[in-house]
């Protein structure tokens, strides 16, 4: 990948990943606000705000982060399967995105119930806080892996490295 294109891809990956992290923080803040509020309208409003936050910010940013991460891995010398930290980031991102998609039905259901009734049912909030908190932990782990890039190459990575060293350039 050309240096200019690599920088564009890296910028897109960083922006989408940081955006995903920020949207998850906003989601957690809404869930905590609803869980700690005594105002029934506040609880309902928070439930109603959780759904668009998830569908229109978190889900698209998760997919953008996954896609741009794949582009980065496949288009740079880091590779997708050469380093354990890249592989771990990929697996964590796939798991986080999968859990998010599986949980979206619950989010939509809770928002639907909040829109249909005047009462403020908090029964779903502990799960929302748990999901958002767990998601944040996973996203922070991926950020730490990206910054610190722990040493350690996979067998595939070591083999590729040996092959590159033995190639004789005429």
* CA 88/CA 63 separation, integer angstroms: 17
- Higher pLDDT: 118 or 136? It is 136
Q: Please write the tens of the pLDDT for every residue from 129-138.
A: 999 999 999 9
Q: What is the DSSP letter of 88?
A: H
The residue-averaged pLDDT of 39-63 equals: 94
* CA 94/CA 87 separation, integer angstroms: 11
Which pTM was predicted?
0.89
The residue-averaged pLDDT of 69-95 equals: 92
Q: How confident is the model at residue 121 (pLDDT cuts 50, 70, 90)?
A: confident
Question: Domain residue spans in the chain?
Answer: 3-166
Q: How far is CA 164 from CA 37, 51, 153, 157, in A?
A: 60, 49, 15, 11
* CA 31/CA 4 separation, integer angstroms: 41
* CA 169/CA 80 separation, integer angstroms: 25
Q: What's the chain's average pLDDT? A: 91
């Amino acid at each position: 990948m050309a240096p200019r294109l690599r920088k564009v891809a890296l910028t897109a990956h960083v922006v989408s990943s940081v955006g995903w992290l920020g949207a998850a923080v906003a989601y957690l803040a809404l869930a905590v606000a609803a869980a700690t509020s005594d105002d029934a309208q506040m609880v309902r409003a928070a439930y109603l705000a959780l759904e668009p936050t998830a569908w229109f910010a978190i889900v698209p940013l998760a997919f953008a982060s996954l896609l741009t991460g794949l582009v980065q891995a496949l288009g740079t010398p880091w590779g997708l399967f050469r380093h354990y930290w890249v592989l771990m980031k990929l697996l964590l991102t796939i798991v986080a995105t999968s859990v998010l998609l599986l949980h979206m039905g619950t989010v939509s259901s809770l928002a639907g119930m909040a829109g249909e009734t005047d009462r403020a049912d908090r029964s779903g909030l502990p799960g929302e806080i748990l999901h958002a908190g767990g998601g944040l932990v996973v996203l922070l782990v991926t950020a730490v892996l990206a910054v610190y890039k722990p040493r350690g190459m996979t067998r595939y990575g070591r083999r590729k490295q040996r092959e590159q060293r033995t190639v004789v350039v005429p």
